């Protein structure tokens, strides 16, 4: 197996671990009442960290898969990196806005923030499924 393939496998596993870690960390945050600006800032910061980390690792995964001669998997990893960038540009400002509304005691803000939190978790679960599928596909190609 080539060095590029080892790197691709390593980055793919890193992406899997990162995504799983943030899913496992974000689900317990649902117990927060989301009724204070501090709750909103914490959850927002948690997801911001995930999106930055996931984009970087997915980009490295895409590059290593391309170097390993796996263009379809590289395209999938690049798509995950792009999704993380887009989600960061959409989810984080929405969380900021809802957090400000929570601070001003807007009634719709708390359910809206909770819905955004759950939606972000579900998207991360879908990404995790895609990453696991890519690992299975990669392992089949290595046989």
At 9, is the pLDDT very low, low, confident or very high (cuts 50, 70, 90)? confident
Q: What is the pLDDT at residue 141?
A: 67
Count of domains in the chain?
Answer: 1
Spatial distance between the Cα atoms of 6 and 11, rounded to a whole number of angstroms: 9
Pair 123, 19: CB distance under 8 Å: no
Q: What is the pLDDT at residue 11?
A: 93
Higher pLDDT: 36 or 53? It is 53
Judge residue 1's burial from the number of C-beta atoms within 10 Å of its C-beta, 0-12 exposed, 13-18 middle, 19 or more buried.
exposed
**Tokens representing residue 114 in the block:** 């909770």
Pair 8, 137: CB distance under 8 Å: no
Q: What is the pLDDT at residue 18?
A: 94
Q: What is the mean pLDDT of residues 64-86?
A: 92
Q: What is the pLDDT at residue 78?
A: 95
pLDDT, mean over the chain: 90
Residues of the domain holding 71: 3-142
Q: What is the pLDDT at residue 143?
A: 65
CATH of residue 39:
1.20.120
At 130, is the pLDDT very low, low, confident or very high (cuts 50, 70, 90)? confident
Q: Report yes or no on whether pTM surpasses 0.95.
A: no
């Amino acid at each position: 197996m080539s060095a590029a393939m080892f790197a691709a496998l390593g980055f793919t596993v890193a992406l899997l671990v990162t995504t799983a870690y943030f899913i496992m960390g974000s689900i317990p945050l649902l117990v927060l009442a989301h009724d204070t600006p501090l709750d909103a800032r914490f959850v927002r910061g948690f997801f911001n960290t995930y999106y930055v980390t996931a984009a970087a690792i997915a980009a490295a995964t895409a590059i290593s898969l391309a170097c390993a001669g796996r263009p379809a998997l590289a395209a999938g990893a690049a798509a995950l990196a792009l999704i993380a960038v887009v989600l960061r540009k959409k989810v984080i400002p929405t969380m900021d806005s809802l957090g400000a509304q929570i601070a001003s005691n807007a009634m719709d803000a708390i359910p809206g923030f909770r819905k955004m939190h759950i939606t972000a978790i579900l998207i991360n679960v879908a990404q995790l499924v895609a990453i696991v599928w890519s690992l299975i596909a990669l392992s089949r190609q290595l046989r």
